[in-house]
Amino acid sequence: MARVVVIGGGFGGLASAARLAKLGHDVTLLEASAQLGGALGYVEEEGFRWDSGPTSTLLPAVIRDFFRKSGRPAEREIDLVPVEPVQQHRFADGTVLDLPGGSRAAQLAAVGSALGEEAGRRWIEYVDDFAEVWDALRKDWFERPWSDEHASKDAKALLSTRLTLHRLAQRELRDPRLQLLACHRASFDGHEPRNVPAWEGVWSYVEQNFGAWTLPGGMGQLADVLAARLETRGVTVLTENPARDLVVEGGRVVGVRIDEGTLDADHVVCAIDPRRLPALAAYVARTMPAIPPTMCHIGVVGDVPDLPAEVVLHGDPTLVLRTTGTAPEGAHAWTILGRGRLAEDIVTALHRAGIKVRDQVEVRVDRTPRELVEQWGGSPLGVLWQGRNTVTRRLGTSTPVGGVFMAGAHTTPGSGLPSVGLSAALVAQVIGPA
């Protein structure tokens, strides 16, 4: 049995702690804030409740695997349901595309109907080309710790490619609306598609083949379920206890320094931005965090348009409207996110984009990117893509400091609930059973 300290109580830290405790280790989790969950959670005001972070996830198998590997199966604790359509995309020319997930045929029909048969065919061909990419990266990047020695030639070539997502979309998709569709996930996460490697487009393949999933009542409940799992597994949880630094002797970690002293450790899992720990900061000096979007939660009363769970309004600014919050009878809890040149109030921008509820807003909670980063102790969007070298400039599962491992959005394989959940599985693989 090893003494393991997990730093950070977001999804990556919670999943790592539960997995390692199930493997028989003595696990202590440190969280700087008063509650667990990180970006997972709720914002509540006057009877309205909104997810504070993600409202859905891709690759539901990642969550199911976590529950299976840490205790009771997911089906006994949560109710994952598909999101249909995954998103509604509204383009500047007035075109509306309800994009389904989990079905190649359904996407072909939807894109063909909204944008034309030629666009539908090109989109399907573009996504199909990621099948081999997914197969190579799934084996060597997503599901096992990266190893130059054991990785396939295909995986190595993909991770070192100079081809960017922007260039690939320009080359393969002549319709500008399809180019926006292909680059949306990366650009709305704060990245410039010209700096994002082409293989990141694999998430379009994942979305098409496995769909998007959510929890009725909000993804925020996942934080409570994971916290309960830690209690079941006997993890010691110390909230309002920020880690100040690692204690390193002879190139290996021996503890974590907190305000009250030092916690001895055989292994440490860093599930926060490593810039916050002086012992790791130097190793990521050439990286930058991806900054969250502007976020506004609104409580709307009266009749509203019948909208799906998520609406993307393409333009500058680009707005994303999420309609899945819970509200008193006769009201609606919506979240608006904004990227780009947001030169006016975000509710006014939504009004101008055609969803006119500005005069029906009774409750409003604004959250700036800076406030989000301060609240969460870092960006849940991980490391900003600054070209292909970002892969090697950020820390991987193992770090240069002996006994220190990385989980969360700032490490392999990246940000988003599926990747963060996989990062915890990779840590558990490396540390292994007690």
Query: Which residue reads 């990366």 in tokens?
Result: 186
Map residue 46 onto helix, strand or coil.
Answer: coil
**Residue 235's pLDDT band (cuts 50, 70, 90):** very high
Please state the rounded mean pLDDT for residues 398-424.
97
User: What pTM was computed for the model?
Assistant: 0.96
CA distance 200 to 214: 22
Please provide residue 426's backbone torsions phi and psi, each rounded to the nearest 5 degrees: -65, -40
Check pLDDT > 90 for residue 71: no
CA distances from 30 to 27, 99, 259 (A): 10, 40, 12
pLDDT digits (tens, 9 = 90+) for 249-293: 999 999 999 999 999 999 999 999 999 999 999 999 999 999 999
> How many Cβ atoms are within 10 Å of 119's Cβ, its own excluded?
21
DSSP symbols for 286-320: T--BPPPPEEEEEEEES------SEEEE-SSSEEE
Q: What pLDDT was estimated at residue 27?
A: 98
Separation between Cα atoms, residue 280 and residue 282, nearest integer Å: 6
Cα separations (Å) of 52 from 49, 219, 287? Answer: 9, 9, 26
Task: Give me the residues paired with residue 320 across strands.
Answer: 312, 337
**Cα(12)–Cα(236) distance, integer angstroms:** 16
75 confidence band (pLDDT: 50, 70, 90): confident
Q: Provide the pLDDT for residue 280.
A: 98
* DSSP string of 108-149, one letter each residue: HHHHHHHH-HHHHHHHHHHHHTTHHHHHHHIIIIISS---TT
Q: What is the pLDDT of residue 1?
A: 83
Instruction: Give dist(CA 61, CA 254) in Å, integer.
Output: 35
Taking a C-beta distance cutoff of 8 angstroms, is the pair 235, 9 a contact?
A: no
The number of CA neighbours under 13 Å toward the Cβ of 210 is 18
**How confident is the model over 370-387, as pLDDT tens digits?**
999 999 989 999 999 999
So what's the pLDDT on residue 394?
A: 96
What are the pLDDT digits (tens) for 171-207?
999 999 999 999 999 999 999 999 999 999 999 999 9
Please report which helix (H) or strand (E) contains residue 223, including its range. Answer: helix 221-233
Tokens of 350: 């939504």
* pLDDT band, residue 214 (cuts 50/70/90): very high
Say what the pLDDT of residue 72 is.
84
Domain ranges of the chain: 3-40+219-288+383-431, 113-208, 294-375
CATH fold for the domain made of 3-40+219-288+383-431: FAD/NAD(P)-binding domain (3.50.50)
